[in-house]
Structure 1
Amino acid sequence: MAFKRFLTFLLLLATAGGCSAQLAIGEEKPTAKPITKADKPREKMAQATFGGGCFWCTEAVFLALEGVEKVTSGYSGGQVENPTYREVCMGTTGHAEVIHIEYDPEKVTFQELLEVHLKTHDPTTLNRQGNDIGTQYRSAVFYHTDEQKKLAETAIDELNKAGAYENPIVTEVTEFEKFWPAEDYHQNYLAENPNQGYCRLVVQPKVDKFRKVFKDKLKKEEAK
């Protein structure tokens, strides 16, 4: 059982009816329509889609970044239509937990987003982030344009050649096809659940570290 699910299980045992409550997580089908590669971003906006482990973590990081207008947690890269969180956690749908970002390219570039992505998770562990294990936690860039593909592949190649990490980067670079927004209770998860065990032990420390490293790239309200 992945670490995130284990912590959620312990929390539910203590607060909400034990195993039956845990089994109910992710049962409902998300109601939001998927975003496909045919869908265009809003005027003057661009889009990026990253997988970097638990989307509760990655969402919280990018929400603090200047130029990022919207971050949605969800699922990409799988074969099943309209997947639930529980199905994705079981590793049977092929999806990765990802975030879909709408950003203002006049305030932040894709290259800067990519830098944050590669430096705020471990891109060298295959299908794993820390104690979260499974294909749903794989490191990925789902590119929307040929330019994004080139920038991602170049960045990975340069980091590998420079020996930036002890092990080679295994980040998947795949063309974006479809993004399924996750269930409503996953959105803005840290802000809505600051006292949840996984948030206190994993998400908040990661966000705090990000804020120190990328202090000059934070939104004004986040930099205070």
Structure 2
Amino acid sequence: MSTEIATFGGGCFWCIEAPFKEIDGVESVISGYAGGHVENPTYEQVCSGNTGHAEVVQVEYDPDRRSYADLLEVFFTVHDPTQRNRQGPDVGSQYRSAIFYHDERQREEAEAFIQELDAADAYDDSVVTEVERLETFYEAEPHHQDYYEKNPNQAYCSFHIPPKLEKVRSKFADRLKPEQVH
């Protein structure tokens, strides 16, 4: 099996990681940081807003089972792409809506997808999602991986993540991993 990688930032990485993990064809989801100017940043450094990084997830997927366009659709369902440098209570450039493309095909697909959303007036406001080349991805600290899975009762998680999971489960029921179908 040959896999591909997609990288998305849409607020807190815990909130993006959990929904992608439910999608059939997604082999792994790793939380991390991209788009900044500090090497090997820590969570605390990124949260300060001074490193230029965004909290992101790197999604490894099987393109024979799930297309990049499918992943874009999930991404634009689980966050608000019209908020600049903010998702809900999380404010700062580290929470920006961003697609970090790995090749020209991904860039073209992402830009076309955004144009289609705006042309269809899919949201009340214009999409502000940044599309930029992935230079370097830094994996987040181990305790940030599978965070919701390990901490479902943590207050932030229990409030913000279940609505995103419900959206994914209802809108993409035909794309869920078999163990996620309820």
- Corresponding residue number in structure 2 for 1:18: none
- Corresponding residue number in structure 1 for 2:35: 77
Question: 2:144 aligned with 1:215, yes or no?
Answer: no
User: Does the aligned pair in 2 maintain the 1:57–1:207 contact within 8 Å?
Assistant: no
- Corresponding residue number in structure 2 for 1:60: 18
1:101 aligns to what SS in structure 2? strand
- Corresponding residue number in structure 2 for 1:21: none
Once the two structures are TM-superposed, the CA of residue 209 in structure 1 deviates from its matched residue by 2.4
**Once the two structures are aligned, what percentage of the paired residues are identical?**
54
Deviations 1:170-205 (A, max 9, x none): 000001111000010000001100111111111122
Measure the CA separation in 1 of the matches of 2:118 and 2:166: 27
Measure the CA separation in 1 of the matches of 2:100 and 2:107: 8
User: How do 1:110-121 and structure 2 match up within 5 A?
Assistant: 110-121=68-79
Cα root mean square deviation, aligned: 0.9
Q: Which blocks of at least 5 consecutive residues in structure 2 are unaligned?
A: none
Once the two structures are TM-superposed, the CA of residue 214 in structure 1 deviates from its matched residue by 1.2
- Corresponding residue number in structure 2 for 1:47: 5
Q: Which blocks of at least 5 consecutive residues in structure 1 are unaligned?
A: 1-42
- Corresponding residue number in structure 1 for 2:44: 86
With the length of structure 2 as denominator, give the TM-score of the two structures.
0.98
Counterpart of 1:56 in structure 2: which amino acid? W
Once the two structures are TM-superposed, the CA of residue 147 in structure 1 deviates from its matched residue by 0.6
Counterpart of 1:170 in structure 2: which amino acid? V
Question: 2:124 aligned with 1:178, yes or no?
Answer: no
- Corresponding residue number in structure 2 for 1:190: 148
Instruction: Please list every run of at least 4 consecutive aligned residues from structure 1 whose deviation after the TM superposition is greater than 2 angstroms.
Output: none
Once the two structures are TM-superposed, the CA of residue 120 in structure 1 deviates from its matched residue by 1.3
Counterpart of 1:92 in structure 2: which amino acid? N
User: Does the aligned pair in 2 maintain the 1:67–1:108 contact within 8 Å?
Assistant: yes
Measure the CA separation in 2 of the matches of 1:105 and 1:81: 31
2:105 to 144, 147, 154: 147
Q: Number of residue pairs matched? A: 182
Measure the CA separation in 2 of the matches of 1:150 and 1:117: 16
Q: Could you say which structure has the larger radius of gyration?
A: 1
Deviations 1:52-78 (A, max 9, x none): 111001000100000000100000000
Once the two structures are TM-superposed, the CA of residue 119 in structure 1 deviates from its matched residue by 1.6
Question: 2:70 aligned with 1:99, yes or no?
Answer: no
Deviations 1:134-163 (A, max 9, x none): 000000000011110000000111111121
Measure the CA separation in 2 of the matches of 1:158 and 1:200: 33
1:140 aligns to what SS in structure 2? strand
User: Does the aligned pair in 1 maintain the 2:34–2:137 contact within 8 Å?
Assistant: yes
Measure the CA separation in 1 of the matches of 2:166 and 2:117: 24
Measure the CA separation in 2 of the matches of 1:54 and 1:83: 16
User: Does the aligned pair in 1 maintain the 2:77–2:167 contact within 8 Å?
Assistant: no
